Amino acid sequence: MRTAIAPAYAGPVTLNAVLRRTAAEPRLINGAAVALGLALTVLAVKTPWSPLPRPVVAAAGVAASSAVWFRGRWPVPVALVAAAGYAASGNPGPLLVGLFSGAASTSARRLAMLAGVGVAGLLAPDWPGHGGPAASQIAFAATGTLGVMASGGYVARRRELTDALRERAELAEAARRLQDDRARVAERTRIAREMHNVLGHKVALICLHAGGLEVNAGAGAARVEQGAALIRATAQETLAEMRAILGCSATGTTARRSSRPTRSSRT
């Protein structure tokens, strides 16, 4: 009969646990990023943040915010659309989200393209009518782009490391459970073998004594009483040996459970 293994206690719900669960749902993050972009677009239209007509500002902001949904699949095209939307609407949200998300890439060429798009996009609103950006504006755009991309790369690498550590911990837990199951099966097999040996030997003796009584039924009351006492003593020895075997097994199992490190001791 196989007993069910109770799941391990996962601990209280913490902010890190909530963030990990949220990170595992890309649609939630994409939806939040799109909602943030649309909210900034509303502010860009009301303020306004761009000298262009409000319908153009609204259309550019909505297009750039909607493109953020595909930030994980096409980071560079999303950054291009977001840069164009920032130039037309003055809404920097989609561009910053695109740079942050695209920094998770490990391709040096893609990162260089993304950095170029980020610098050009941040300079786009100040470019027309000013004869080109000043050196301070270029430095600010480059610093902002590299800062956002460095933050995105750090978060991406940290998430990969966390996932790898979590997978390693799950594998270790599965290996420990497999080892416990094997030890339990080996213990049961040993108990069954010892009980079979004990019972086989003692039951054979009982059968032998009982057969002797059956053959010598007329040997007299003293002989019958002696044979019955021998059978009773053999049966009592059998029960005592069985209790000893089961007691040693229970003691060994308890010792193994007590020596097993708990979650608090491991922490």
* Interval 103-124: pLDDT, tens: 887 678 888 888 888 888 888 8
Query: Which of 28-42, 132-146, 192-206 has the lowest average pLDDT?
Result: 192-206
**What gap in Å lies between CA 79 and CA 101, rounded to an integer?**
10
Query: Which of 68-72, 76-80, 181-185, 226-230 has the lowest average pLDDT?
Result: 226-230
Q: Do you find a cis peptide bond into 48, omega within 30 degrees of 0? A: yes
Query: Which of 86-90, 102-106, 239-243, 257-261 has the lowest average pLDDT?
Result: 257-261
69-97 b/e (C-beta count within 10 Å ≥ 16 → b): bebeeebbebbbbbbbbbbbbbbbbbbbb
**What gap in Å lies between CA 184 and CA 177, rounded to an integer?**
10
Task: State the amino acid at position 139 in one-letter form.
Answer: A
Highest mean pLDDT among 123-132, 170-179, 219-228: 170-179
pLDDT digits (tens, 9 = 90+) for 128-157: 555 667 788 888 888 988 998 898 888 888
Highest mean pLDDT among 21-25, 45-49, 64-68, 126-130: 64-68
Length of the chain: 267
**What gap in Å lies between CA 147 and CA 20, rounded to an integer?**
23
Q: Write down the pLDDT at residue 8.
A: 43
Task: State the amino acid at position 206 in one-letter form.
Answer: I
Of all residues in the chain, what percent carry a pLDDT higher than 70? 79
Q: Write down the pLDDT at residue 211.
A: 78
Of 43, 45, 91, 52, the residue nearest 68 (C-alpha): 91
Report if pTM > 0.85: no
Q: To the nearest whole number, what is the mean pLDDT of the chain?
A: 78
Q: Write down the pLDDT at residue 167.
A: 92
- Per DSSP, 42 falls in state H
Backbone angles phi and psi of 13, in degrees to 5: -75, 120
Q: Write down the pLDDT at residue 73.
A: 83
CB 137 within 8 A of CB 128: no
